[in-house]
């Protein structure tokens, strides 16, 4: 008799909880990316924190060592690709919208957008080692150059050059990430020789985008942090090019 009461008590107390957990897991499987088999590419040591919604996940290609944090959304169709290159970090509440809708006579918006009628299609590329802050939105036409920093709550609707620091709505350049000499030093540590920017290119880049602008980066770290850095790079199998 006591065992029956125990069973009834267990069902009453715990079954609703178990059921709710099971329903939540089923919802996650339906709505969110939980397997690299469902995405175009998910590189080594890259992760996507849940919940994150990817509209057409097979058209999203993520390189190695990329982090996408929780509550991010990518709205794309079968005709646009999102490409995120290595060492990029994306903070919470990131939104990327790849398809551009054009108001079209005789077609209501309830059909125009969802069915991608008369859309402008363009791939979006986020280059290597980009840092995207919280609550950033990328609109059609946006692309982010290597080493750029996108400040929190910014809206980007155009091409951002390498190593630019941008903020605002729409985002504007306020600084460079590093000086030219710091970029050269930085890329010797991060990239193989054939992938590094030349000094000539960097001089041209700074003349075009960063005249009379500050830089936000530094070069020194503590000995404790240096040891930690080498430990993490070894654990993640990140090569040392220095």
Residues 6+ apart with CB under 8 A from 140: 97, 98, 99, 100, 120, 122, 124, 157
**Which is more confident, 242 or 141?**
141
Mean pLDDT of 123-134: 98
Give which of 165, 155, 142, 147 is closest to 213, Cα–Cα. Answer: 165
Q: Does the pLDDT value for residue 29 go beyond 90?
A: no
Unique residue bearing structure tokens 């790849």: 98
Closest alpha carbon to 214 in 177, 189, 187: 177
- Backbone φ, ψ for residue 96 (5° rounding): -125, 125
Dist CA 141 CA 120 (whole Å): 10
Residue 170, preceding bond cis, omega within 30 degrees?
A: yes
CATH of 35-235, one of 2.30.30.40, 2.160.10.10, 3.40.1280.10, 3.40.630.30: 2.160.10.10
DSSP helix/strand/coil, 87? coil
Among the listed ranges 17-26, 52-61, 62-71, 213-222, which one has the minimum average pLDDT value?
17-26
Sheet holding 60-62, edge to edge: 41-42, 60-62, 82-84, 124-126, 143-144, 159-160
Q: What is the pTM of this model?
A: 0.83
Residue 151 neighbours by CB distance under 10 Å:
18
Please determine, for residue 36, whether its predicted confidence score (pLDDT) is greater than 90: no
CA distances from 146 to 47, 126, 211, 239 (A): 20, 8, 19, 19
CA-angle at 232, arms to 227 and 233, nearest 5°: 100
Mean pLDDT of 171-193: 96
Decide: 157 and 137 in contact? Cβ < 8 Å. no
The string of DSSP letters for 170-206 reads TTEEEEESS-HHHHHHHHHHHS-GGGSPPHHHHHHHH
DSSP reduced 3-state for 131: strand
122 and 100 Cβ atoms separated by less than 8 Å: yes
Distance of alpha carbon 127 from alpha carbon 148, whole angstroms: 9
Note the pLDDT of residue 7. 54
Higher pLDDT, 159 or 33: 159
């Amino acid at each position: 008799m006591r065992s029956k009461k125990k069973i009834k008590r267990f069902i009453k107390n715990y079954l609703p909880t178990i059921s709710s957990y099971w329903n939540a897991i089923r919802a996650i499987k339906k709505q969110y990316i939980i397997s690299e088999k469902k995405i175009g590419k998910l590189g080594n040591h890259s992760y996507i924190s849940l919940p994150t919604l990817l509209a057409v996940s097979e058209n999203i290609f993520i390189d190695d060592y990329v982090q996408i944090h929780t509550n991010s959304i990518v709205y794309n169709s079968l005709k646009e690709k999102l490409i995120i290159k290595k060492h990029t970090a994306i903070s919470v509440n990131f939104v990327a919208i790849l398809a551009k809708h054009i108001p079209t006579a005789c077609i209501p918006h309830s059909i125009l957008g969802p069915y991608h009628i008369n859309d402008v299609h363009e791939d979006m590329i986020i280059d290597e080692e980009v840092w995207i802050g919280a609550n950033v939105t990328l609109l059609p036409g946006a692309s982010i150059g290597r080493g750029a920093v996108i400040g929190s709550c910014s809206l980007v609707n155009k091409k951002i050059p390498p190593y630019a620091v941008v903020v605002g709505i729409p985002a504007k350049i306020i600084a460079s990430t590093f000086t030219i000499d710091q970029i050269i030093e930085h890329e010797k540590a991060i990239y193989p020789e054939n992938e590094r920017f030349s000094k000539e290119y960097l001089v041209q880049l700074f003349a075009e985008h960063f005249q009379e602008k500050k830089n936000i980066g530094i070069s020194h770290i503590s000995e404790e942090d240096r040891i930690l850095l080498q430990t993490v790079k070894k654990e993640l199998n990140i090569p040392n090019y220095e």
